[in-house]
């Protein structure tokens, strides 16, 4: 692309480009030091792994070129870059919708223009861990909706799985195409001083991939020379790979007709649904566009009803089909689940996958991996205390001040307590909730999320980040996009990266070598 | 193409055209604020509001239409048509509706189309109408027209000539046909009664329709009622003539449903053909040998009433044929 090969006048890669440092290899020592120059406001904290600098304040090997470029970059130019990105997002409508009590408002997710770097070796580790994890999750889901061997043998407590609100009894005995329950997964990964760990598996309707692509487009336009010189792996293939994955699930002998099912224009992720439909060249349908006739799914077109073979649904299980699930749903299509059971349409992801991203089931993922794959987990889990168990509840209640407490089915940063940032009153309220309904909660230690360089309030400062890569699993194999949504807690000291809670995002550069 | 998408494209085309139509009428009126007498301005507002099918805002119930416009102030009358979010036909509302439709169409629209439409909407949503009114009232509307024409150009330059484009154009020209019919009818009824004072000139109507220069080249500088009306109804090369709109409607329908793809002539095409025949035959606005003002008006009123009725019927049939058809009729054979 032109943007990737042409340096702009403000591109820090222009002029003195410094020396190229390998990842971990010997390199000439950079003149850049955290706490001085453009990094004067960049205060390192030994409690947190810093993505940009080592403990001694020098740039990490892979980040030397980036830090040198940032050091040369006038702050006012960075301000212009940020403003340019904001304007472009505003004009192109890269927004998320927030429904208020009286009005609907559109918001732009804050983008930080400083990329985060991941080395090739680090990415290899993450990628193999993600593939292992998604393979195990699919085997686990097949098992719990068929033989239930893992439940009988106590790998995961049967009452935990069968009592999980996301367990769909309607899925028992359903022949899922290629046994792929989760075709699209988004896994939240954090880095602490002990390495990478999985914080959450999102295997229902993971979102954020459009922001990954928007961030990439923004950095390619803003710092094309720097991007080119870093040898960054490309993410633009994602829509094509997603289509290929979805199409592979169909048994149609001709080109399968794929559609994306969206709750509609006022859903917070609508931009992403529309973006993916446009990039894949498929219809973006709503429930009102769908008709089930003779256990076959059709879309109402301007020239009659047309069959749909694969539906990438971006609505929760509850809303898929008012006949089978929530009766008041108008987002899905009556009879859709019947068509699915009959094998006349593929739903991706399959209903009932939410069991695998329940935060209590999450604690058992290492055991699930060992049981189904006979392998050790490549990516670690975060220590998790299950409040459904007396010891876990007691430990959580005794240590509320130091723990993060989450609802097992929660998401978006809602319904959680961050102990160190909570008031006495909030802890008391949570303790009551825990005692009243312990099975609904888990607790985890407050993680020292790593920090990455961000341009905030006119200067470069460290902020906590996480990472959500996306894994595709089709009949033609698995695919992990070399990148991901890198979420940033933009408020100083905050550990909450969710966009609904003041978080932003930045581009993630996976280096080729 | 999804039926809902076809409807959104159709309505997007209609709302964009409606916004532009309102802006053109306003530009003509606001330009005249500088030197036109008050009674002529009031008549101009009356023509605009009636042509748009609207009543004057905050008009007392006990005064007639003409008097209401004499009493109303230009700021209120213009503001209602430009920036009033509660007026379903104001420019900001229509622009917003077009954007709402476009939001539903993101996968179908080129990014350039969406961005140009969105930037225009953000501009009018955030524009300072009171401030603009104090400086140059017509400038704000002119900029709106420029932005809408930029959008039309981007549509022309970036969209494939498939059904996405056809449904949008269909909406655009159905809207144009209906609005132009209303405008010609209203101007004929209110704008220039013989010997009346005040009156609006027929050359002004040509300017509102962006057809003055072509008219002068074809017919000379004298703008007479019968010739102007026939020109704006029948000339196939005037973008805002009824015939031009009907021809485009026909072209779009043929493209959407090539002959033989379904039953020979879908109902909307029948009405479009009838409209075309009516417009082409509209040469007898002045009956031979018995020309009187009353006869002129009767014939013109009948014609406009027929065209307006067929325009509404065309819209209803389009929706019934492509959007709201019974499921049983849409099942594959």
Which tens digit of pLDDT belongs to each residue from A194-251?
A: 899 999 999 999 999 999 999 999 999 989 999 999 999 999 999 999 999 999 999 8
CB spacing of A305 vs B256 below 8 angstroms: no
Which tokens belong to A169?
């009894």
Identify the pLDDT of residue B264: 63
Chain B segment 84-103 residues within 8 A of A by beta carbon are 100, 103
Of residues B258 and A107, which shows the higher confidence score? Answer: A107
A117-131, A272-286, B269-283: which range is least confident on average?
A: B269-283
Write down the mean pLDDT value for chain B.
88
Rounded mean pLDDT of B82-87?
A: 92
Please indicate, yes or no, if residue A173 is contained in any of the structural domains. Answer: yes
Please indicate, yes or no, if residue A465 is contained in any of the structural domains. Answer: no
CA-based nearest residue to B205, from B18, B39, B43, B35: B43
Total number of domains constituting chain A? 2
Last residue of a domain, one of A445, A460, A495: A445
Report whether pLDDT(A422) > 70: yes
Identify the pLDDT of residue B296: 63
Confidence of residue B220 (pLDDT cuts 50, 70, 90): confident
Q: Is A194 an 8 Å CB contact of chain B? A: no
Report whether pLDDT(A4) > 60: no
**Same domain, yes or no, for A394 and A507?**
no
Over pLDDT 70: what percentage of chain A?
A: 93
Say how many C-beta atoms besides its own lie within 10 A of residue A455's C-beta. 21
Report whether pLDDT(A357) > 70: yes
Residues of B with CB below 8 A from A93's CB? Answer: 103, 106, 114-115, 118
Identify the pLDDT of residue A52: 95
Please check whether residue A183 is in contact with residue A473, taking contact to mean a CB–CB distance below 8 angstroms.
Answer: yes
B107-111, B258-262, B323-327: which range is least confident on average?
A: B258-262
Which tokens belong to B304?
């406009």
Identify the pLDDT of residue B196: 63
Identify the pLDDT of residue B216: 92
Closest CB to A302: pick one of B3, B111, B119: B3
Identify the pLDDT of residue B285: 60
**Same domain, yes or no, for A406 and A509?**
no
Interface confidence, given as ipTM, is 0.85
Residues of A with CB below 8 A from B107's CB? Answer: 274-275, 277-278, 282-284
Residues of B with CB below 8 A from A103's CB? Answer: none
Report whether pLDDT(A104) > 90: no
**Same domain, yes or no, for A47 and A141?**
yes
**Same domain, yes or no, for A393 and A511?**
no
Q: Is A291 an 8 Å CB contact of chain B? A: yes
Identify the pLDDT of residue A17: 40
Residues of B with CB below 8 A from A92's CB? Answer: 111, 114-115, 118
Alpha carbon distances (Å) from A45 to A321, A458, B71, B291: 51, 20, 72, 95
To which residue do tokens 């009428």 refer?
Answer: B25
Report whether pLDDT(A284) > 50: yes
Say how many C-beta atoms besides its own lie within 10 A of residue A36's C-beta. 12
Please indicate, yes or no, if residue A396 is contained in any of the structural domains. Answer: yes
Identify the pLDDT of residue A25: 39
Closest CB to A274: pick one of B107, B330, B332: B107
Residues of B with CB below 8 A from A302's CB? Answer: 1-3, 5-6, 163, 167, 256, 322-323
- A438: containing domain: 383-445
Over pLDDT 90: what percentage of chain A?
A: 69
Of residues A465 and A414, which shows the higher confidence score? Answer: A465
Please indicate, yes or no, if residue A428 is contained in any of the structural domains. Answer: yes
Please check whether residue B82 is in contact with residue B90, taking contact to mean a CB–CB distance below 8 angstroms.
Answer: yes
- When scoring A91, A210, A243, A302 by the number of chain B Cβ atoms within 10 A, the one with the most, hence best to mutate, is A302
CB spacing of B327 vs A302 below 8 angstroms: no
A8-17, A136-145, B277-286: which range is least confident on average?
A: A8-17
**Same domain, yes or no, for A83 and A145?**
yes
Please indicate, yes or no, if residue A111 is contained in any of the structural domains. Answer: yes
CB spacing of A283 vs B331 below 8 angstroms: no
Residues of B with CB below 8 A from A97's CB? Answer: none
CA-based nearest residue to A439, from A361, A367, A491, A492: A361
Nearest-CA distance A302 → chain B (Å): 4
Rounded mean pLDDT of A32-42?
A: 90
The vertex-B47 CA angle with B42 and B48, nearest 5°, equals 95
Residues of A with CB below 8 A from B263's CB? Answer: none
Residue range B63-82, pLDDT digits in tens: 787 788 887 888 999 999 99
Identify the pLDDT of residue B260: 52
- When scoring B96, B101, B106 by the number of chain A Cβ atoms within 10 A, the one with the most, hence best to mutate, is B106
**Same domain, yes or no, for A183 and A109?**
yes
Residues of B with CB below 8 A from A303's CB? Answer: 1, 261-262, 322
Confidence of residue A1 (pLDDT cuts 50, 70, 90): very low
**Residue B225 three-state SS:** helix
Nearest-CA distance B322 → chain A (Å): 5
Write down the mean pLDDT value for chain A.
89
**Same domain, yes or no, for A500 and A407?**
no
**Same domain, yes or no, for A398 and A491?**
no
Residue range B175-207, pLDDT digits in tens: 999 999 999 999 988 875 656 666 778 889 999
Rounded mean pLDDT of B124-151?
A: 91
Tell me, what CATH number does A416's domain have? 3.30.1490.270
Closest CB to B1: pick one of A265, A286, A302: A302
**Same domain, yes or no, for A47 and A100?**
yes
Of residues A432 and B222, which shows the higher confidence score? Answer: A432
| β-sheet with A258-261: strand ranges across | A283-285, A258-261, A310-313, A346-348
Rounded mean pLDDT of A20-25?
A: 38
Closest CB to A283: pick one of B2, B111, B118: B2
Please indicate, yes or no, if residue A435 is contained in any of the structural domains. Answer: yes
Rounded mean pLDDT of B153-170?
A: 96
CB spacing of B331 vs A304 below 8 angstroms: yes
CB spacing of A302 vs B323 below 8 angstroms: yes
Identify the pLDDT of residue A347: 96
Say how many C-beta atoms besides its own lie within 10 A of residue A87's C-beta. 12
Confidence of residue B158 (pLDDT cuts 50, 70, 90): very high
**Same domain, yes or no, for A350 and A419?**
no
């Amino acid at each position: 692309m032109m943007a990737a090969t042409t340096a702009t006048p403000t591109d820090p890669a222009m002029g003195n480009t410094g020396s190229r440092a390998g990842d971990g290899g010997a390199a000439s020592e950079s003149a850049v030091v955290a706490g001085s120059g453009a990094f004067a406001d960049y205060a390192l904290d030994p409690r947190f792994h810093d993505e940009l600098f080592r403990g001694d304040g020098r740039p990490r090997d892979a980040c030397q070129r980036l830090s040198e470029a940032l050091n040369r970059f006038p702050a006012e130019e960075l301000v212009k870059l940020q403003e340019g990105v904001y304007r472009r997002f505003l004009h192109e409508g890269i927004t998320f919708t927030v429904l208020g009590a009286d009005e609907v408002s559109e918001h732009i997710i804050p983008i930080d223009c400083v990329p985060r770097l991941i080395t090739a070796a680090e990415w290899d580790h993450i990628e193999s861990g993600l593939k292992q994890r998604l393979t195990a999750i699919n085997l686990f889901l097949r098992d719990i909706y068929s033989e239930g061997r893992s439940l009988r043998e106590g790998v995961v407590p049967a009452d935990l799985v069968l009592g999980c609100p996301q367990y769909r009894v309607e899925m028992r005995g359903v022949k899922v195409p290629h046994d792929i329950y989760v075709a699209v997964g988004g896994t939240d990964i954090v880095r602490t001083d002990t390495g990478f760990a999985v914080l959450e598996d999102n295997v229902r309707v993971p979102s954020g991939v459009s922001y990954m692509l928007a961030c990439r487009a923004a950095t390619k336009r803003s710092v094309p020379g720097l991007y080119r010189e870093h040898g960054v792996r490309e993410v633009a293939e994602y829509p094509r790979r997603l289509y290929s994955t979805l199409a592979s699930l169909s048994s149609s002998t001709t080109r399968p007709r794929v559609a994306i099912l969206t709750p509609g224009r006022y859903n917070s992720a609508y931009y992403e649904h529309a973006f993916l439909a446009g990039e894949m060249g498929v219809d973006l349908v709503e429930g009102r566009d769908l008709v089930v006739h003779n256990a076959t799914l059709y879309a109402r077109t301007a020239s009659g009803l047309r069959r749909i073979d694969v539906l990438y649904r971006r609505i929760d299980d509850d809303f898929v089909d008012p006949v089978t699930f929530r009766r008041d749903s108008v987002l899905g299509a009556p009879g859709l689940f019947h068509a699915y059971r009959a094998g006349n349409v593929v739903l991706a992801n399959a209903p009932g996958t939410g069991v695998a991203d329940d935060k209590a089931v999450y604690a058992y993922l290492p055991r699930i991996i060992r049981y189904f794959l006979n392998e050790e987990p490549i990516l670690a889990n975060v220590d998790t205390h299950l409040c459904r168990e007396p010891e876990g509840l007691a430990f959580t209640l005794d240590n509320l001040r130091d723990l993060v407490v989450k609802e097992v089915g929660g998401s978006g940063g809602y319904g959680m307590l961050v102990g160190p940032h909570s008031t006495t009153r909030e802890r008391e309220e949570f303790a009551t909730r825990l005692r009243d309904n312990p099975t609904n909660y888990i607790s985890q230690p407050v993680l020292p999320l790593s920090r990455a360089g961000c341009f905030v309030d006119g200067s470069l400062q460290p902020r906590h980040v996480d990472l959500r890569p996306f894994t595709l699993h089709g009949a033609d194999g698995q695919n992990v996009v070399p990148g991901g949504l890198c979420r940033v807690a933009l408020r100083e000291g905050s550990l909450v990266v969710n966009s609904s809670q003041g978080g932003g995002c930045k581009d993630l550069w996976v280096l080729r070598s | 193409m999804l039926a809902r998408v076809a409807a959104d494209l159709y309505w997007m085309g209609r709302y964009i055209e409606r916004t532009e139509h309102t802006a053109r009428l306003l530009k003509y009126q606001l330009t005249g604020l500088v030197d036109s007498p008050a009674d002529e301005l009031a008549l101009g507002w009356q023509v605009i509001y009636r042509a748009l099918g609207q009543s004057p805002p905050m008009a007392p119930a006990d005064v007639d239409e003409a008097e209401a416009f004499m009493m109303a102030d230009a700021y209120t009358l213009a503001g209602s048509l430009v920036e009033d979010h509660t007026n379903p036909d104001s420019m900001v509302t229509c622009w917003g509706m077009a954007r709402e439709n476009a939001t539903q169409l993101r996968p179908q629209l080129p990014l350039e189309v969406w961005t140009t439409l969105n930037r225009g909407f953000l501009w009018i949503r955030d524009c300072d109408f009171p401030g603009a009114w104090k400086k140059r009232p017509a400038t704000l509307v002119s900029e709106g027209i420029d932005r809408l024409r930029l959008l039309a150009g981007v549509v022309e330059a970036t969209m494939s000539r498939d059904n996405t484009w056809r449904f949008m154009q269909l909406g655009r020209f159905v809207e144009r046909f209906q609005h132009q019919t209303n405008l010609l009818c209203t101007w004929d009824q209110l704008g220039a009664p013989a010997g009346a004072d005040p009156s609006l000139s027929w050359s002004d109507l040509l300017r509102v329709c962006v057809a003055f220069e072509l008219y002068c080249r074809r017919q000379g500088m004298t703008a007479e009622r019968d010739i102007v009306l026939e020109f704006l109804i029948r000339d196939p090369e005037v973008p805002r003539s009824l015939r031009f709109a009907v021809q485009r409607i026909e072209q779009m329908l043929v493209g959407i449903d090539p002959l033989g793809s379904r039953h020979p002539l879908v109902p909307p095409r029948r009405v479009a053909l009838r409209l075309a025949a009516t417009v082409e035959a509209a040469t007898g606005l002045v009956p031979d040998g018995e020309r009187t003002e009353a006869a002129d008006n009767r014939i013109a009123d009948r014609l406009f009433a027929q065209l307006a009725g067929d325009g509404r019927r065309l819209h209803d049939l389009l929706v019934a044929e492509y959007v709201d058809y019974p499921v049983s009729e849409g099942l594959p054979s």
